[in-house]
Chains A and B, each alone.
Chain A
Amino acid sequence: MFETVLYEVRNRVAYITLNRPDKLNAFTKELNKEVQSAIKAASRDKSVGALVITGAGRAFCSGEDLSGVSEEMDHGEVLRKRYNPMLIELDRCEKPVIAAVNGVAAGAGMSLALACDFRLASDKASFIEAFIHVGLVPDAGNLYHLPRIIGHAKALELAVFGEKLPAEKAKELGLVTEMIPADTWEEGIAAFAERLANMPTVAIGLIKRNLKASWHSNLEDFLERDAQAQRIAGMTVDHREGVSAFLEKRNAVFKGE
Chain B
Amino acid sequence: MNRSFENIETAVKGKIGLIELNRPKVLNALNRQMVTEILEAMEQYDRDPDIKIIVLAGKGRAFAAGADIDEMMDADAISLETLNQFTDWDRLAWIKKPIIGAVHGFALGGAFELALCCDMLFASEKAEFGFPEVNLGIMPGAGGTQRLTKLVGKTKAMEWVLSGKRISATEALHFGIINSTFAEEVLMEETMKFAGNIANQPPLAVRMIKESIHKAVDYSLYEGMQYERKNFYLLFASEDQKEGMRAFKEKRKPDFKGK
Contact = CB atoms under 8 A, between A and B. Distances in A.
A209 B124 CA distance: 14
Interface stretch (A67-75, A121-129, A185-193, A227-235): A227-235
Interface in A209-237: 209, 225, 228-229, 231-232
B162 interface: no
Interface in A227-257: 228-229, 231-232
B182 interface: yes
B75 interface: no
Given A232-B183, A232-B186, 12 more contacts: A209-B183, A225-B183, A228-B182, A228-B183, A228-B185, A228-B186, A228-B190, A229-B183, A231-B185, A231-B186, A231-B189, A232-B185
Interface residues of A, number: 6
Nearest to B185: A232
A115 to B, nearest CB: 19
Nearest to B189: A231
13 contacts: A209-B183, A225-B183, A228-B182, A228-B185, A228-B186, A228-B190, A229-B183, A231-B185, A231-B186, A231-B189, A232-B183, A232-B185, A232-B186
Most chain A beta-carbon contacts within 10 A, residue among B182, B185, B189, B190: B185
Contacts of B183: 209, 225, 228-229, 232
Nearest to B184: A232
Interface of B: 182-183, 185-186, 189-190
A219 B61 CA distance: 31
A216 B183 CA distance: 16
A229 B185 CA distance: 9
Contacts of A209: 183
Judged by DSSP, the binding face of B is helix
The 5 closest A-B pairs by CB, nearest first: A232-B185, A228-B183, A228-B186, A231-B186, A232-B186
Contacts of B185: 228, 231-232
B169 to A, nearest CB: 13
A55 B183 CA distance: 34
Nearest to A206: B183
Contacts of A229: 183
Nearest to A216: B170
Contacts of B189: 231
Contacts of A228: 182-183, 185-186, 190
A175 B95 CA distance: 58
Nearest to A231: B186
Interface centre among A225, A228, A229, A232 (most CB of B within 10 A): A228
B61 to A, nearest CB: 12
Nearest to B126: A92
A171 B185 CA distance: 37
A225 B180 CA distance: 12
Nearest to A229: B183
B146 to A, nearest CB: 32
A231 B183 CA distance: 10
A189 B189 CA distance: 40
A225 B183 CA distance: 8
A28 B89 CA distance: 49
A232 B182 CA distance: 11
A62 to B, nearest CB: 33
Nearest to A233: B185
B168 to A, nearest CB: 12
Nearest to B187: A228
A89 B186 CA distance: 23
Contacts of A232: 183, 185-186
B244 to A, nearest CB: 30
A225 B186 CA distance: 11
A167 B223 CA distance: 72
Contacts of B182: 228
Among B182, B183, B186, B189, residue most surrounded by chain A Cβ atoms (within 10 Å):
B183
Nearest to A209: B183
B237 to A, nearest CB: 40
A208 to B, nearest CB: 13
Nearest to A227: B186
A52 to B, nearest CB: 25
B131 to A, nearest CB: 22
